[in-house]
Each structure stands twice: as C-alpha cells, then as structure tokens.
Amino acid sequence: MSTSDGPGPELSSRLGYLLKHARLRLDELYTNALRPYGIDGRELGVLLALAGHEPASQQQAAQRLGIDRTTMVALLDTLQGKGLVSRHPDANDRRRNVVELTDAGRKTLSQAIEASDDAERALLAPLTPQAARHLRTALQTIVTHPDS
C-alpha cells in the first residue's frame, strides 16, 4: 500500500482540507439562503428527515439524520417553538413522541428546499453540470457504502 496514486503532499489536495472547506462554504450559503425562512441548515435537515416519513418517533428521525437522539431533543424544541413541527405521545407506544410537520412546517420546508437548491447551485457553479452530478453521486456512493 501507499505506493502510487496518492493525493500529493499539497494541503490543498487533501480530502480532509477539501471536505472541511467545501462544507464551510456551503454552510454559509445555506445560512444566507435560509435566513428569510427563519431556519438554518441543521433544522432544514430535520424537516427533510421528517417529510415523507411521518409520523416518526424522535429516535427514528435522529437515525435518518445520523445524529444522536439526545441532540434531536433540542433541535425539535426550537422547531416546535417556531411552530414547524408538532410532538405528541404515540397512542400505541407511549414512550414515543410522534413528530409531524405542521402545515406551516410543510410550507416553510417547500420554500426552504428551493432556497437551499439555489445555495447548492451557487456552490457548484464553477463546475460543469455533468461534473456537479458526478460529485453528488460520488459522495452518495461514499456515504451510503457500508462501513467496512
């Protein structure tokens, strides 16, 4: 191993550097794009994790997002405070909270999706449309690949 085909020693060609700074840029674009809707990128993630899969328990939503269930608590607290999601105990399993998008949540989500699409387009602007698609599918392949 470690013989050929490496990234080269330059800092600017290492994946750690590239992924970090790509995400920093995207985060800033997300934040600006989502500001009119009163949410940030993480909260958009939660709304997306709920959309189309409702009703879900908090734990299920956390697993979809890949975060800890204790982290989801505070995230839902703020979204509930903004009136975008509702929590109420599951009738069939009272340990669980059923988490659903409210009507306002659905409306905000559809607007926020468009705004974040613009943000992603801005990040990918220097790439050809084909290169942009390949980047997305390559990342999907990496992320969805089983762990080892």
* Site residues for DNA per CB under 7 A: 20, 40, 42, 57-59, 62, 67-71, 73, 76-77, 87, 92-97
Contact with its own copies (CB under 8 A) among 91, 92, 95, 141? 141
Question: Facing residues of 97 across strands?
Answer: 89
Kind of pairing between the strands at 97-101 and 85-89: antiparallel
Under the criterion CB under 8 A, does residue 105 sit at the interface with its own copies? no
DSSP, residue by residue, 39-98: --HHHHHHHHHHTTT-SB-HHHHHHHHTS-HHHHHHHHHHHHHTTSEEEEE-SS-TTSEE
Tell me how many residues contact its own copies (CB under 8 A): 62
Under the criterion CB under 8 A, does residue 131 sit at the interface with its own copies? yes
User: What does the alpha-carbon distance between residue 77 and residue 83 come to, in Å, rounded to a whole number?
Assistant: 10
Under the criterion CB under 8 A, does residue 17 sit at the interface with its own copies? yes
**Terminal Cα distance for the chain, rounded:** 18
Contact with its own copies (CB under 8 A) among 57, 59, 63, 64? 64
Which residues bind to its own copies, rule: CB under 8 A? 1-2, 5-7, 9-27, 30, 41, 44-45, 48-49, 51-52, 64-66, 113-118, 120-121, 123-127, 129, 131-132, 134-136, 138-145
